[in-house]
Chains A and B, each alone.
Chain A
Amino acid sequence: MSGPTDSKRDEIRSYVIGYCLAVALTGAAFAIVHWPSFVSTTTLAVVLGLAFVQIVVHFRFFLHISLRKSARDDLQLILFSTLIVILMVSGTLVILFNLRARMM
């Protein structure tokens, strides 16, 4: 952090690390589906877990959002939107699956 050159190198390194992590996580998710080694529910849980980690990696290394450096406004906006998304998606799924179960 002493001069612009250092900072530029740090930034490029951050993108390279993020890219390598993202490729590894993507590859792992596709590999576990292409060569199944667990029962299907475990595979699904692993795939969704990998997707969550990869989303965090993208936010951290490509969008430069982190808990430490981010401005509070942006982070709060993202976290609040995430809360809304979780409420609406899980609410939709719970209600409609329940409805389907009752109609069967």
Chain B
Amino acid sequence: MSANQVKHAGLNLGGTDELTHEQAEIAVFGFWVFLMSDAVLFALLFATYGVMLSATVGGPTPASEYKILPVFLETLALLTSSFTYGMASVAMKHGASRRQLLGWMGATLVLGAAFLGMELHDFATMFGDGAYPTRSGYLSSFFALVPLHGLHVFFGSIWIIVMMVQVMIFGLDARVKINILRLGLFWHFLDIVWIAIFSVVYLQGLIR
């Protein structure tokens, strides 16, 4: 068991499915390389945001546009969805019933959709206040960074739907298991990016 755990980091199948565990090693490492390149992309958008923060040109400012309650609820939704996905990973790894696995994935999907709904509502409110991307450098960098994360969550949600269909049609064969592992890495990674967004963008803007 302990020998298996050091084979590759992160989510793994461990001793429950030796053969797929071997196959997953390279696939999951490759996915980590993608995630880290995505992290670099986000980091540079954060740097751009930091530089542009004071370039409001007399227009909307962070303090006037951000509201703490919706951001807190979005954070809880995404955080809880990370937990439910974790439960889905455990269900898959330890051979729980297919209905249980689909239930946890469905819960993750609902929370992801709730997050997206609240975020779109926030953006619509901002647009209504005249805070649109071309208004100032600050708003351009805001709308480059935050909706890019939303777009990741959107495609992650589509990926969850695809994986639920694959589980229903193919069952838990090796390919489906490895895809669920990769989707897990992606989903947890998005939650980590969101930690940086709510701290650096929203909370920094709301500090009085």
B169 located at the interface, meaning its Cβ lies under 8 Å from any Cβ of chain A in the complex: no
Number of interface residues of B (CB under 8 A): 55
Main secondary structure of the interface of B (DSSP, over half): helix
Report the separation of the CA atoms of residues A23 and B116 in the bound assembly, to the nearest whole angstrom. 20
Q: Which of B32-40, B147-155, B160-168 contacts A (4 or more CB under 8 A)?
A: B32-40
B82 located at the interface, meaning its Cβ lies under 8 Å from any Cβ of chain A in the complex: yes
Report the separation of the CA atoms of residues A36 and B33 in the bound assembly, to the nearest whole angstrom. 40
Min CB distance A5 to B, Å, is: 8
Min CB distance A15 to B, Å, is: 4
Min CB distance A43 to B, Å, is: 5
Which listed residue (B5, B11, B191) contacts A69, Cβ 8 A? B5
Main secondary structure of the interface of A (DSSP, over half): helix
Q: A64–B11 contact, CB under 8 A?
A: yes
Q: A47–B68 contact, CB under 8 A?
A: no
Q: A77–B33 contact, CB under 8 A?
A: yes
A71 located at the interface, meaning its Cβ lies under 8 Å from any Cβ of chain B in the complex: yes
Min CB distance A41 to B, Å, is: 9
Q: B199–A51 contact, CB under 8 A?
A: yes
Report the separation of the CA atoms of residues A98 and B133 in the bound assembly, to the nearest whole angstrom. 26
Give chain B interface residues in 24-46, CB to chain A under 8 Å: 29, 32-33, 36, 39-40, 43-44, 46
By size class, the interface of chain A is 35 or more
Give chain B interface residues in 1-29, CB to chain A under 8 Å: 1-2, 5-12, 14-16, 29
For B32, what are the chain A residues with a Cβ–Cβ distance below 8 Å?
A: 74, 77-78
Chain A window 57-86, contacts with chain B (Cβ cutoff 8 Å), 1 for yes, 0 for no = 011001111000111011101100100110
Min CB distance A47 to B, Å, is: 5
Residue of B nearest to A70 (CB): B9
Give 7 CB contacts A-B under 8 Å: A15-B86, A15-B87, A62-B188, A64-B10, A69-B5, A73-B8, A97-B51
Which residues of B come within 8 Å of A, CB atoms?
1-2, 5-12, 14-16, 29, 32-33, 36, 39-40, 43-44, 46-48, 50-51, 68, 71-72, 75-76, 79-80, 82-83, 86-87, 90, 93-94, 185, 188-189, 191-192, 195-196, 198-200, 203-204, 206-208
